[in-house]
Amino acid sequence: MAAESRYILVTKRDCPTCQLIEPALEELALSAPVRVFNQDGAGFPATAAADVIDDSELAGSWALDVEIVPTLIRYEGETEAGRTEGWDRSAWRALTHLNDLGASLPEFRPGCGSLTRDPGIAPRLAARYGGGGLTARRIDLAPLEDAIETCYERGWSDGLPVVPPTPERVLAMLAGTNRDPGETLGEVPPDLVPVSIEKIAINAVMAGCRPEYLPVVISAVEAALEEPFCMHGLLATTYFSGPMVVVSGPLARRIGMNAGGNALGQGNRANATIGRALQLVIRNVGGGRPGGVDRAALGNPGKYTFCFAEDDDPAWTSLSEDRGFARDETTVTLFAADGVQGIVDQKAREPEPLCRSFAAGLRVVSHPKMVQAADAFLVVSPEHARVFHDAGWSKQRVTERLHELLTIDGSELVQGAGGMAEGLPVKLKGRSLRKFREGGLTLVRAGGSAGMFSAIIAGWGASGEIGSSPVTREVKS
């Protein structure tokens, strides 16, 4: 039976067990054809009995999907009939049916890791030898072409350098999700181009993401494509807004997002690159570019990237919970956001005066006389949140009080009031109107431990059914 078999042995010289088993290889090669793939150069194993192949390029090892060296594989014809890893005398004997094999060797020695499993190698091998399932068009660069400059010239950049999306990097990125690279999520405006997981991974590479951020990026894209978010209009508007991403839940901490000091600022890779990846998908896949369909009069710096994590505050419900998910679920919430307006109150020690400060700041969103137009997020810092916690005020109670304080007499809002032409139709003079529509004011917790400052993030003037509503999606691996 053994005579009908043939064997492949995968080794590396740098592995003591591979060196140890050389006598067993000699014995085996006397009974059946043996081909050896050696991973670290020619000249090992030094045997004339077997057909030794230099597999430094790892093509053979990759095709055989080897994890450990030595690995001995038995074939019957073209079919693999079994394999064993490391040196386990009884396992080698069982596989080869040679009952005296390796009599001079110890009973057992573990093997070493295959070079195909070294960190960072697998994506390179997948790119080189196939198996990655990539279907995006490949762009060949000329020998002297600089990849980063090429990305600029082809219009793939938001203005900052991007990481060149090589097949190796994209395959490494795709390791961050279990989803099929070919799965299509929907059509990205404005050109309504179908977007696949692979295209998202390419843009995530360019944005600078790590693979573990990819599930968050995918969920952010899914949220952007939901009809209530109105991504087309948000892109096309002359208004300031762009998509802001808030990540709530345990994964935000696991991937190292910043919900603390400078959460809305620079310096954290996950915050910076997740928001940027979403913008690059819209730019590159959807074709949404400034001066093209993006008609913003001024825009805002958040259109490079605007993404942060919500702080885990046990005293308040989380954004995930507020949006109908469980606290231990990780969600992304997208909001059509302008920039950040700070609100200072260093004197309030009770909820009511602090709510009044917040309300006064929120009153000016879009324009002090505009109501039921833009939504807003209020990012409450730890020192401000403490005032509410000490008094036992829930987030919902604060929100409701803000709505009450932002119920405004129509006479203050109509055209001409305060000497400003802007305003509501004069016929609304006798009415009393809420600044924000139902669900239009969202509170989240973030920020560093020092500073009695919170942040108002105003939204697009077109909210709700006529424009954009915040959209939340669960993050799945």
Partner 1 sequence: MSETVLLDPGSERDPSQREPRALPLDLSGRTVGLLDISKPRGDVFLDEIASLLEAEGATVTRFRKPTFTRPAPTELRQDIAEQCDLVLEGLAD
Residues at the interface with partner 1 (CB under 8 A): 124, 134, 136-141, 143, 147, 150-151, 153-154, 156, 164-170, 191, 193, 198-199, 202-203, 206, 280, 284-287
Task: Specify the DSSP class assigned to residue 332.
Answer: E
Nearer to partner 1, 192 or 426 (CB): 192
Nearer to partner 1, 136 or 175 (CB): 136
Q: Is the dihedral of CA 291, 295, 299, 304 positive or negative?
A: negative
State the minimum distance, in angstroms, from the CB of residue 367 to partner 1: 38
- Among residues 274, 390, 262, the alpha carbon closest in space to that of 332 is found at 274
How far is Cα 236 from Cα 301, in angstroms, rounded to an integer? 16
Give CA separation, 188 vs 158, 279, 283, in Å. 17, 11, 9
User: Measured at the alpha carbon of residue 335, what is the angle toward residues 334 and 338, in degrees to the nearest 5?
Assistant: 140
State the minimum distance, in angstroms, from the CB of residue 442 to partner 1: 32
How far is Cα 156 from Cα 205, in angstroms, rounded to an integer? 12
Q: Would you give the end-to-end CA distance of the chain in angstroms?
A: 47
Nearer to partner 1, 13 or 128 (CB): 128
- Among residues 12, 76, 2, the alpha carbon closest in space to that of 39 is found at 12
Nearer to partner 1, 283 or 369 (CB): 283
State the minimum distance, in angstroms, from the CB of residue 138 to partner 1: 5
Nearer to partner 1, 213 or 240 (CB): 213
State the minimum distance, in angstroms, from the CB of residue 155 to partner 1: 8
Nearer to partner 1, 206 or 417 (CB): 206
Nearer to partner 1, 156 or 393 (CB): 156
**Pairing assessment for the beta strands 5-11 and 71-76 based on DSSP bridges:** antiparallel
Nearer to partner 1, 119 or 143 (CB): 143
State the minimum distance, in angstroms, from the CB of residue 193 to partner 1: 4
Nearer to partner 1, 101 or 172 (CB): 172
Cα atoms in the 13 Å half-sphere on the side-chain side of 405: 20
Nearer to partner 1, 167 or 256 (CB): 167
Contact 472, 323 (CB under 8 A): yes
State the minimum distance, in angstroms, from the CB of residue 154 to partner 1: 7
State the minimum distance, in angstroms, from the CB of residue 12 to partner 1: 23
How far is Cα 145 from Cα 453, in angstroms, rounded to an integer? 48
List phi, psi (to 5°) of 76.
-110, 110
State the minimum distance, in angstroms, from the CB of residue 336 to partner 1: 23
Give CA separation, 381 vs 261, 323, 341, in Å. 9, 20, 13
State the minimum distance, in angstroms, from the CB of residue 64 to partner 1: 24
State the minimum distance, in angstroms, from the CB of residue 26 to partner 1: 39
List phi, psi (to 5°) of 152.
-65, -50
Nearer to partner 1, 194 or 228 (CB): 194
State the minimum distance, in angstroms, from the CB of residue 140 to partner 1: 6
- DSSP secondary structure letters along 431-444: -EEESS-TT-EEEE
Give bridge partners of residue 336 from the DSSP assignment. 243
Contact 472, 406 (CB under 8 A): no
Length of the chain (residues): 477
Burial 87-113 (b: 16+ CB within 10 A, else e): bbbebbbebbebeebbeebeeebebbe
Contact 233, 240 (CB under 8 A): no
Tokens of 372: 């039921």
